[in-house]
Amino acid sequence: MENHKFGLSIRNVSKTYANGVRALNNVTLDIPNGMYGLLGPNGAGKSTLMRILATLQDPDNGSIQLDNLDVLHQKNEVRKTLGYLPQEFGVYPKVSAENLLYHFAILKGITNRGERKVIVEALLRQTNLWDVRRQKLGGYSGGMRQRFGVAVALLGNPKLMIVDEPTAGLDPAERVRFLNLLSELGENSAVILSTHIVEDVSELCTKMAIIRKGQILLEAEPLRAVNELKGKIWRRMIEKNALTNIEQRYAVITTKLLAGQTVVHIYSEQDPGNGFEHAETDLEDVYFCTMAGHYGNASAKQQEVTS
């Protein structure tokens, strides 16, 4: 059996909408099995790419391979091995989770009654919904609905799971439960987590890409990217009225309020002096440095400057 290095290979994918918005610009990514984070602000092109991977939309050009399948031309075959949890999905509020999952299992082609019962029970237990399986979905919390969405997406043991902005709107406890569930899924398939929340990626993903204005600015392993920035991020507490002066003199990455004062993070390869001290570097620093052009794929940045 041929051993594939990557589960999903995306090559030179572009998409421009009829209104002239260029959502994707020559995107190339290799996505192996495991949790893969696609990180970027709202409007960066993440959802467009997710819809293309989910066979719901066609790009203008490019190619996508999922193992031996051509994603753009073998859509029915891809759909059999695909799990997709979109940013917003509807549920039938008056139907129980158990009954709706049975219905989706039939649509997925699981026609043997005994097999279907075993699979539905296993998925409800895996997503921690077994005790509320007979409750109507209209009474579910946001986190419970998201976990039900994962149960639906897992029908048929997908090789590729696409999860688009899954923790937006979840309270902290639901978010933790949901992320723990996602972390279990990446063992046997490629799971793409598309999000604008840096913490989701830092807690879950072994590989990631940062996208802005339809372009990939950085592909990296989060831990390695953080280590490469160590020693280059500096912090200082300032009065709020001093911020404008600091922004004029330094490459400011982030500012946060803390106990009535402003904490400034700046990027500098040398000691900037002036009261700055080394900051404990994290993935948020990587993200904002990349967005500001201080870190990441120089060719992508140059292309953006010249386009």
Where are the chain's structural domains? 8-220, 226-306
How far is 103 from 23, CA to CA, in rounded Å? 35
Name the CA dihedral angle for 271, 274, 280, 283, rounded to a multiple of 10 degrees.
-80
pLDDT score for 302: 36
pLDDT score for 303: 38
pLDDT score for 205: 92
pLDDT score for 6: 53
Q: Which CATH number fits domain 8-220: 3.30.360.10, 3.30.2310.20, 3.40.50.300, 3.30.572.10?
A: 3.40.50.300
Per-residue pLDDT 10s for the chain (307 aa) are: 334 445 899 999 999 999 999 999 999 999 998 899 999 998 899 999 999 999 999 999 999 999 889 999 999 999 888 988 887 777 788 999 999 999 989 988 888 999 999 999 999 998 889 999 999 999 998 888 888 988 888 888 888 999 888 887 788 888 888 888 888 877 778 899 999 989 989 888 999 999 999 999 999 999 999 999 999 999 999 988 889 999 999 999 999 988 778 999 999 999 999 999 999 999 999 999 999 988 865 434 333 433 3
pLDDT score for 219: 95
